Copies of this chain bind each other. A is one copy, B any other.
Amino acid sequence: MDYNAILELLRQKGYRLTQARKQVIRILTTNTQFLGAYDIHNLLEKENIHIGVTSIYRVLDLLKKLDLVRSEEFGAGGERFRLQGNEEQHEHSHQLICSQCGRQEEWVGECPITDLAEKLEHTSGYQIEEHWLRFFGLCPQCQEL
């Protein structure tokens, strides 16, 4: 789903196409990494575009409600957001995160967890919505330091 498709979807649902929404969506469509609200704020400030932090959070909440972005939290720095479908590849993916420099990599492959989640639903009574699988370690560069 690209920039214009998202705007069209918002329009169809009766949401106004405001500067705040257009700018945040633009940033999200051009980034495959997870970004925090303040990351987005800073990127926009660099372009001399001033959107209040409050509004950025509101746009992100809206996009999340519409299931257009997914959010996660790893380590410090709060919630981070990424457009659905902006995974490096579009299979179910997980993260490999460097504990030194914070570099994130997608790790794609068939997921050994999906089956497990189903079993767990039965044994635990939980209605499982999602799962995280994260590996932390030193990336090749940081091992050399």
Contacts and interface: CB of A to CB of B under 8 A. Distances in A.
Interface residues of A, number: 35
Interface in A76-132: 76, 78-79, 96, 98-99, 105, 107, 112-113, 116-117, 120-121, 124-132
A73 B78 CA distance: 10
A140 B125 contact: yes
Contacts of A68: none
Contacts of A3: none
B73 A76 contact: yes
A15 interface: no
Interface string A125-143: 1111111111111111001
A127 B143 contact: yes
B138 A124 contact: no
Given A73-B74, A73-B76, A127-B143, A135 B112 contact: no
B136 A134 contact: no
Contacts of A134: 131-132
A122 to B, nearest CB: 12
A9 to B, nearest CB: 25
B132 A120 contact: no
12 contacts: A73-B75, A99-B129, A107-B124, A120-B135, A126-B137, A126-B138, A127-B137, A127-B138, A128-B136, A129-B137, A130-B136, A132-B136
